[in-house]
A and B are shown apart, each in its own frame.
Chain A
Amino acid sequence: MFKEVKSLMDINWIFFFLLLVIFWIGEINLYSAANGNFEPWAYNQLKRFLFFLPIFFFILMLQPRFIFNVTEIILITTVIGLIITLFFGYTGMGAKRWIRIGGFNLQISEFAKIALVLFMAKYFHKLNAEKTIGLLRSILPLIISLIVFILVAIQPDLGTAVIILTLGLIAIFYAGINLIYPILSLIVLGISSPFLWTLLKPYQQNRVMIFLNPDLDPLGKGYHIIQSKIAIGSGGMRGNGFLGGSQSSLDFLPEKETDFVFAIFSEQFGFTGSMVILGLFLFLFLIPIFKSFFLTQVFNKLILFVLSFKIFFEFLINISMTIGLVPVVGVALPFMSYGGSSLLSNMIICALLINIMSISEKKRMFS
């Protein structure tokens, strides 16, 4: 089940270090979000990080073969978890998103992302396709993706659901589906979007409308975007300096410790700081993908690609939210937003990435 202890030496230290740097920047940022206090966010987040570290190393040390064997169990468990959430979930912000396990409020949908990718990886690995894949052989992953999507979407948590569906589609795309189908579905989507609009809940429509024009409701739903843009814009080239952000310290920024944590950062460290963060996440994205080029096994390649894509994708969506490029959909900034489930799932993802990256196919670790 576990690798040898000495294989710990083979892990990608650069990636691990990058992870620590980003987490630590997040910590400093949460410290400044509380106007220079460790309480309540920075301290709690650090406690969680330390608490999750054993889980991180546990997954880091798992044999890929073991992971391969339990993907279905993981998927079924999370789907059951999602169903339980729907019935017994804990309601917050108008949605049932959390279930209480051992003193923690867990957001199962965060883990559903991982479960889905693992399942896909195994499915396409087993398929062992010679060339591009037809529609028929993509049906099962598509259906599974849709099931998970729907289970999350009806919580309702459209942001997470869209990310789950995106990950599913990206996985299918990566695995080599015939290009005709993605192109065809994009065309269909374009045509049917007016109809889809009517399926959205009024508050979701509202969010989109206000995204398109925040001044529609400057003190209500547009307030988030307007204040966030003011915070980021006032940062300028170099920022207002550490703890120098008036927008955040004076509480103009709502949800500043979660979804809008980037605005706090950018107000203090400006365009320069924003570019540094972007660079760090780009590395975090590209290192596993670079490694994936040297691997031949579909299971490994797909996990590395889609999971590292997941972190970068969430990063981009979150930042785009705060600068008004996409509607506010409630996607956390990996490792920087305050929140346990997101931190745990991203730590698991990174553990998986490091785990797979340390595979040397030449050493025949798969045999």
Chain B
Amino acid sequence: MEDNKTSKESIKILNRRSFIIIFISVFFSLFVILRLFSLQIINSNFYKKKSIENKVSVKAIPPLRGDIFDNNNNLIAGSTSSYEFVIFKNLNKKFIDELNSLNSILSLDLDLPKIINEINKKNPYVPYKISKAGWDQIVKFEKNKFLFTAIKIQESKKRYYPHKNMSQILGYTGSSSLSSELYPKGVFHIEKTFENILKGKPGKIFNEVNSQGRIVREISIQEPIKGNNLHLTINLKMQDFAQSLLPLTNKGSIVVLNCQDGSILSMNSNPTFNSQAFEDRDNSVIERLLSDNSKPLINRAFSGFYPPGSVFKPIPALLGLQKNVINENTEVICKGHSTLKDRNYYCWKKGGHGRVNLKKAIKESCDVYFYELAKKTNIDELSQLATSLGLNQKYDIGLSNPQQGLVPNKKWKKAYLDQGWYLGETLITCIGQGFNLTSPLQLATLYSALINGGKYPKPRIHNDENVSYLGDAFDKKYHDLILESLNATVLEPSGTAFKLNNLHPNFVKIGGKTGTSQVIRIKEEDREDDLYKSKEVEDRFKDHSVFVGYAPFDKPKYVASVIIENGGSGSAVAAPIAHKALNFAYNLNV
């Protein structure tokens, strides 16, 4: 290296150039400082928030669902623990091997390709439920625990329904497959309707997670809040007993309600199902239930609509009295049929009832009396009165899909059938056939209305719901007359349900009305004839047997409404069932 005599000019240039570059560097540094200032001082809170969002994951803890009790504080729906095998795909890359060994060790018979396909679609940090874990399987799993890192046993809370007969009222819970909901919610009947009371509030676990979503530590827990308990008016004993009354051979239903406060004590339907099957996700059972032609999921007491038959008769009777078309003494001579425009309308009793007044017409269920009355009846007024007495109304008591049924009027026929009203239709409407459609619950309510003199407590199933009243009171004179007639139906020798007294002489004395709901129009004169049942009629064409009764007859407290599909005449099948149910309720005294 040779020393140079560097010229002064050159040194000046070099030093000047270094100042230029230092200046540019410092200028650039100022940019960096400004940027850091903006990030760390001005927008610091924004990034702090981002950082917390980055590191905290919130996991919901499902709350316990509220319990459901009957009116006697018996648990009818609660929660219990269940165990499931779940897989955390992210914990082991060879999770498929683990699935295979789980399948073979526990002989689970899993559809592995389907499961693997589903797992691959899911978020790897969310556990995938493989199957239920029974006690034996848990023991085997624990013995071979060293084989599994991704598969774990997870406890979950499950709905528990101790009484099968409550299923038609309680419904069930379930989790929708598409929704993002973390825990099941009510999807049917009481479980659905009172979801907001029962569901509770989910808790939250705040976890610190790393960028892979793995939990590093738990920061805090917000405990879940259990849902509120629900008390029903249903009485467990009544419900169980009523179910035992329904013949297994026929579809049918029975409602028992307290006509003093509207509380429904029992509401049964046959065939029925078990809510637990839905909770256990027992798919084969569920599929069978859904595809069953006898529709076991339908509560026929609530959702079954049939022509009411003769139990409808008190309504035209009351209307006739109110309109002064008839009075207590008005008589009609029944020769077995009535004629309107060259057409005969038959009474169920071939030879006719002879001289018939109102009481006898109800007691012996004379159709001709009501045909004659119908000729002077305005169908719109009849429909209106029926509505105020509890028919033709939706009862939103808490079961799913409440329906209105039908008591026809001119407007309805015009709107739905685009036809005018014929007087002949009034005739068959007045004996409860034709377009009439009522549910057993509506019929029970109708009789509650009659018993209460027109103003009646709204039926209810939620015990905390206040008693409210529907309908308008009618004249006490008419009230007494109608009840007297209904009592006579059971208590007086020629009454259609008199034989109940012989059948069960020790039971509580009841009043009520038999009915036969026509399935097809065959030989009207055969209706209510006890011989009818012995005749060779194909079962599915047999009439529905209807009875609505109340007990005790002199101071009614309970109303029972029974329908047995294709059961035949009301007096033969439905009436004894209602009598037993009323006697049971009377002795239970709830």
A278 CB contacts on chain B under 8 angstroms: 29, 32-33
A234 touching B10, Cβ below 8 Å: no
Contact with A along B15-31 (1 / 0, CB 8 A): 10110011001001101
B96 at interface, CB cutoff 8 A:
no
A204 CB contacts on chain B under 8 angstroms: none
A250 touching B39, Cβ below 8 Å: no
B210 touching A250, Cβ below 8 Å: yes
B43 touching A296, Cβ below 8 Å: no
B39 touching A323, Cβ below 8 Å: yes
**Complex: A232 Cα to B46 Cα, angstroms:** 11
Contact with B along A275-305 (1 / 0, CB 8 A): 1001000100110010011001111011001
B139 at interface, CB cutoff 8 A:
no
Contact with A along B369-404 (1 / 0, CB 8 A): 000000000000000000000000000000000000
B502 at interface, CB cutoff 8 A:
no
Q: Which of A176, A231, A367 has the most chain B CB within a 10 Å cutoff?
A: A176
B11 CB contacts on chain A under 8 angstroms: 296, 301
B1 touching A316, Cβ below 8 Å: no
A292 touching B18, Cβ below 8 Å: yes
A213 CB contacts on chain B under 8 angstroms: none
What residue of chain A has the Cβ atom nearest to residue B1's Cβ?
A: A68
A250 touching B6, Cβ below 8 Å: no
Given the contacts A174-B18, A309-B21, A252 and B13 also touching, CB distance less than 8 Å:
no
- Closest Cβ of chain A: how far from B491's Cβ, in Å? 83
A150 at interface, CB cutoff 8 A:
no
B21 touching A170, Cβ below 8 Å: yes
What residue of chain A has the Cβ atom nearest to residue B36's Cβ?
A: A274
B211 CB contacts on chain A under 8 angstroms: 250-252
The listed residue (A68, A246, A247, A298) touching B14 by CB distance below 8 A is: A298
Interface size on B, residues (CB 8 A): 42
Given the contacts A251-B212, A319-B32, A234 and B44 also touching, CB distance less than 8 Å:
yes
Interface size on A, residues (CB 8 A): 60
B185 at interface, CB cutoff 8 A:
no
B43 touching A233, Cβ below 8 Å: yes
A320 at interface, CB cutoff 8 A:
yes
A13 CB contacts on chain B under 8 angstroms: none
**Complex: A298 Cα to B15 Cα, angstroms:** 11
**Complex: A266 Cα to B51 Cα, angstroms:** 14
What residue of chain B has the Cβ atom nearest to residue A302's Cβ?
A: B14
Given the contacts A286-B22, A313-B25, A233 and B4 also touching, CB distance less than 8 Å:
no
**Complex: A174 Cα to B15 Cα, angstroms:** 8
- Closest Cβ of chain B: how far from A156's Cβ, in Å? 25
Interface residues of B in 38-89 (CB under 8 A from A): 39-41, 43-44, 46-48, 50-51, 54-55
B1 touching A235, Cβ below 8 Å: no
B50 touching A234, Cβ below 8 Å: yes
**Complex: A319 Cα to B36 Cα, angstroms:** 9
What residue of chain A has the Cβ atom nearest to residue B53's Cβ?
A: A230
A216 at interface, CB cutoff 8 A:
no
A362 CB contacts on chain B under 8 angstroms: none
What residue of chain B has the Cβ atom nearest to residue A365's Cβ?
A: B3
A128 at interface, CB cutoff 8 A:
yes
Given the contacts A68-B1, A251-B210, A278-B33, A176 and B10 also touching, CB distance less than 8 Å:
yes
B7 at interface, CB cutoff 8 A:
yes
B504 CB contacts on chain A under 8 angstroms: none
A289 touching B22, Cβ below 8 Å: yes
B55 touching A246, Cβ below 8 Å: yes
A176 CB contacts on chain B under 8 angstroms: 10, 13-14, 17
A312 at interface, CB cutoff 8 A:
yes
Given the contacts A174-B14, A252-B55, A271 and B37 also touching, CB distance less than 8 Å:
yes
A137 CB contacts on chain B under 8 angstroms: none
Given the contacts A252-B210, A271-B41, A234 and B1 also touching, CB distance less than 8 Å:
no
- Closest Cβ of chain A: how far from B530's Cβ, in Å? 80
A132 at interface, CB cutoff 8 A:
yes
B528 at interface, CB cutoff 8 A:
no
B35 at interface, CB cutoff 8 A:
yes
Given the contacts A234-B50, A236-B41, A289-B22, A250 and B208 also touching, CB distance less than 8 Å:
yes
The listed residue (B28, B40, B48) touching A271 by CB distance below 8 A is: B40
What residue of chain A has the Cβ atom nearest to residue B3's Cβ?
A: A366
- Closest Cβ of chain A: how far from B178's Cβ, in Å? 25
Contact with A along B193-215 (1 / 0, CB 8 A): 00000000000000011111000
B10 touching A320, Cβ below 8 Å: no
B39 touching A298, Cβ below 8 Å: no
Q: Which of A68, A173, A230, A305 has the most chain B CB within a 10 Å cutoff?
A: A230
The listed residue (A235, A266, A316) touching B29 by CB distance below 8 A is: A316
A232 touching B47, Cβ below 8 Å: yes
B44 touching A236, Cβ below 8 Å: yes
Q: Which of B29, B35, B39 has the most chain A CB within a 10 Å cutoff?
A: B39
Contact with A along B147-188 (1 / 0, CB 8 A): 000000000000000000000000000000000000000000
B208 CB contacts on chain A under 8 angstroms: 246, 250
A131 CB contacts on chain B under 8 angstroms: 7, 9-10, 13
B47 touching A229, Cβ below 8 Å: yes
**New A-B pairs, 8, CB < 8 Å, besides A234-B51, A237-B41, A250-B55:** A130-B9, A174-B21, A233-B43, A252-B211, A312-B25, A323-B35, A366-B1, A367-B3
The 5 closest A-B pairs by CB, nearest first: A233-B47, A68-B1, A234-B51, A271-B40, A250-B210
Give me 28 A-to-B residue pairs in the complex whose CB atoms sit less than 8 angstroms apart, sorted by A's number: A65-B1, A128-B10, A131-B7, A131-B10, A170-B21, A173-B21, A176-B14, A176-B17, A229-B39, A232-B39, A233-B47, A235-B44, A247-B55, A250-B209, A250-B210, A251-B210, A271-B37, A274-B40, A275-B33, A275-B36, A293-B15, A297-B6, A298-B4, A301-B11, A309-B25, A316-B29, A366-B1, A366-B3
Query: B-contacting residues of A (Cβ < 8 Å)?
Result: 64-65, 68-69, 125, 128-132, 170, 173-176, 227, 229-237, 246-247, 250-252, 266, 270-271, 274-275, 278, 282, 285-286, 289, 292-293, 296-299, 301-302, 305, 309, 312-313, 316, 319-320, 323-325, 366-367
